[in-house]
Structure 1
Amino acid sequence: MSEVKNLLVLPRLRVQNANAISSPMTWGFPAMSAFVGLMHALERKLYAAGINVSLSNVGVICHDFDAQATEGGYIRGFHLTRNPVDKTGGTAAIVEEGRIHLDITVVFTIDSAAAESEHEHIAEKIGEIVAGMRIAGGSVIPNRAVPSHKQRPQWVTLDDDEERRESKFARLKRRWLPGFALTLRDDYLTEHHQTLQQQNPEASLLDAWLDLSRLNHYCALENKGESNEKPVWQVQRPYRGWLVPIPVGYGAISDLFNPGEVANARDNKTQFRFVESLYSIGEWVSPHRMKQPEDLLWYVENDEEAGLYRLNNDYHLRASAQ
């Protein structure tokens, strides 16, 4: 049974010029770490405003997107801005930026000591604060494609009774359609790595990740052995679903340094460590396929001894069990 008691839903947010480059090797949708950053920044702003709430998990449903990139062909390029001339009057360097317009619903788990009668007011206040914040570097603007009453923030309390709880969550899922939620599929990556190792013992996790990140075409014979035999091209997909390569956090590539030990660090009061991106496989899933809020939600799961600072999602636990 789900342990989530309260959800804060920010429906149908329109985000303009969000960062489409999610990592050094992936693009197309902001990394989930950007939404975790939004959650932490929002929690601090609420505390400064005298609203003491705790936000711990975050989920995102994407209803529409418009990547600012060229269309057609096998090669795409970002639409870049031309910067003003520099102080010498020369042409300023062009810094490549990937941008995307998004129509998303953001969901948080929320806990507070406030009375139930204050929940609606807190949700409205959160909506006002988020309207002035950045989401993955993008600006939140009015969504004129959706009626205003469908954009109101909601504080949803899930009942302890399992039947009523499922009914309320089912109503929420219907409101999130049409759309797709990003989930984690570590299980696919592990399983595909084992499959490749049966063919090639030297196959690495990187080979498995790259193999799942692309569409593999192969040629096969149709009507083999007959007079109308002909070659046809087919797509090989080891798993069903809309699979995508995603960054899930950072892995340490150095020791942990004491505060102030590394020159030019942003914060001289916090320990410092050099890291690089961690990657896994994600799956875009329609909300109606989710059985409980945990399927949607992402959370921080760090292991400092192993040098892992990553995000996790539990959808793959239920999906792989089925």
Structure 2
Amino acid sequence: MSQPTPQHRAVLLLPHLRVQNANAISSPLTWGFPAITAFTGLMTALERRLGPEAGINLLGVGVVCHGFEAQVTTSGYTRAFHLTRNPVLQDGSTAAIVEEGRAHLEISLVFDVRLGDAQHGDAEREALAERIAQALAGMRLAGGSVMPPLPAAKRRPQRPLLALVPDGAEAQREQFRRLARRLMPGFALVSRDDLLQQRLAELRTRDAQASTLDAWLDLSRWTIRPVATPEGAEGGEPSNRMEWITDPRPGWIVPIPVGFAALSPLHAAGSVAGARDMATPFRFVETVWSIGQWISPHRLQRLGDLIWQIGHDHDPEHPSEHGLYRCFIDTPAPTATPI
């Protein structure tokens, strides 16, 4: 017998999780914070571990970073990952090294969830939140291990929160303001697809052949250009001195992978040798990139501004003709502040 679909909307907060040795190589072109697909994948795995009897559906996840420590060696502008030294082979030769990037994280996860009637009470929600936190403690997040709080922490570990979302718009904004205060200090990763389209339009005013890749690369870099200083600096004579100026950026923006695009048609389950899951249809894919922004949670207005969802095109029963499997935030973009 199938379980009834939960109907009560709620928000789940898992605060200040410590993750050790998370994957810092988020895509073939970017490194740093793990890809957002790692967190949506965790959301799916967590819901499956809880099972349908838990009476909760996880619909989206928001990510707030409180600490990031890349395991790298820095020399000027060059950085190199700390790599493990594998044992030698049987013949004594050196084993090949596969580069692996790692980072230690401190993050908070915010889930948009639906609850069943059995979890409507305060005591039931508190027990379910503790159960979810315990289940997550035994899982992997972006390839890293979820660690217990440090015993020498100055403040007591925050407890997970599972609260019903009120009906009124003003009550929802007030609830999110209280939630945002619990997420500070920290920065939330949100989608800024609008900046990519805006920059593409600007580039095409100068070059009609500009592509989305050109706009993405232009937003991904710091541009520093020389500007001549005003003439007549001393004695009324022209000045030949130059000053280096950094172009302003619309906030703390970063290039991020947001999903995958199909490279092949959908193959029947079990038809591709070496597939991880022989019971699920298979398709070859490549990474899809976009632009994200790190923003303080207090600048967001509501829960939907924070929550990443999985695109509807991922459903194998209704495959998209473009084969796009991507994550998105279905809200207007926050106001950009140049930096």
Equivalent position to 2:131, from 125, 136, 155: 125
What SS does the aligned partner of 1:77 have? strand
Alignment of 1:1-322 (within 5 A): 5-47=9-51, 50-113=53-116, 114-115=118-119, 116=121, 117-144=123-150, 146=153, 149-224=156-231, 226=233, 227=237, 229=239, 230-237=241-248, 239-303=249-313, 304-317=320-333, 319=335
Offset, 1:270: 2.1
- Report how far residue 4 of structure 1 moved: 9.3
Q: What displacement does 1:18 show?
A: 0.3
Q: How many residues are paired up?
A: 316
Alpha-carbon deviations, 1:203-258, whole Å to 9, x = none? Answer: 11111101100001110012146537321001123x42001000010011112222
Identity %: 50
Instruction: Measure how far apart 1:147 and its partner are.
Output: 5.7
One-letter amino acid of the counterpart of residue 267, structure 2: F
Deviates more, 1:184-193 or 1:302-311: 302-311
Question: Matched residues in 1 for 2:231 and 2:9: separation?
Answer: 59
CA distance in 2, matches of 1:153, 1:81: 35
CA-CA distance at 1:92 after TM superposition: 1.7
Give unmatched runs, 5+ long, in structure 1: none
Contact 2:260 2:325 in 1 (8 A): yes
Rounded to whole Å, the distance in 2 between the matches of 1:162 and 1:4 is 16
Output the amino acid matched with 1:294: G
CA contact (8 A) 2:149 2:157 kept: no
Shift of 1:52: 2.9
Is contact 1:246-1:279 (8 Å) kept?
Answer: yes
What is the TM-score when the length of structure 2 is the normalising length?
Answer: 0.88
Contact 1:17 1:137 in 2 (8 A): yes
Q: 1:256 to 1:42 in 2, by over 3 A?
A: same
Contact 1:185 1:316 in 2 (8 A): no
Q: Does the aligned pair in 2 maintain the 1:4–1:109 contact within 8 Å?
A: no
With the length of structure 1 as denominator, give the TM-score of the two structures. Answer: 0.92
CA contact (8 A) 2:8 2:115 kept: no
Query: Aligned AA for 1:31?
Result: A
- Tell me how far 1:84 sits from its aligned partner: 1.9
Distance 1:319 1:302, change over 3 A: farther
* Structure 2 CA distance for aligned equivalents of residues 265 and 224 of structure 1: 67
1:309 Cα shift?
Answer: 0.5
CA distance in 2, matches of 1:34, 1:47: 20
After TM superposition, the structure 1 stretch with the greater mean CA deviation from structure 2, 219-228 or 34-43, is 219-228
Contact 1:22–1:30 under 8 Å retained in 2 = yes
Q: Any idea what SS the aligned residue of 1:164 has?
A: helix
Contact 2:9–2:115 (Cα < 8 Å) also in 1: no
RMSD: 2.0
Asked if 1 retains the 8 angstrom alpha-carbon contact of 2:139 and 2:145, the reply is yes
Gaps of 5+ in 2: 1-6, 314-319
1: CA distance between counterparts of 2:258 and 2:61?
14
| Runs of 4+ deviating beyond 6 Å | none
How far residue 319 of structure 1 moved from its aligned partner, in angstroms, is: 4.2
SS at match of 2:277: coil
* Alpha-carbon shift at residue 146 of structure 1 (Å): 4.6
Distance 1:171 1:278 in 2: 34
Q: Measure, in 2, the Cα distance between the counterparts of 1:122 and 1:220.
A: 60
Give the partner amino acid of 2:63: V
Q: Which range moved further: 108-117 or 220-229?
A: 220-229
Given the superposition, is the C-alpha separation of residues 207 and 91 from structure 1 closer, same or farther in structure 2, using an over 3 Å criterion? same
In 2, Cα distance between the equivalents of 1:154 and 1:5? 14
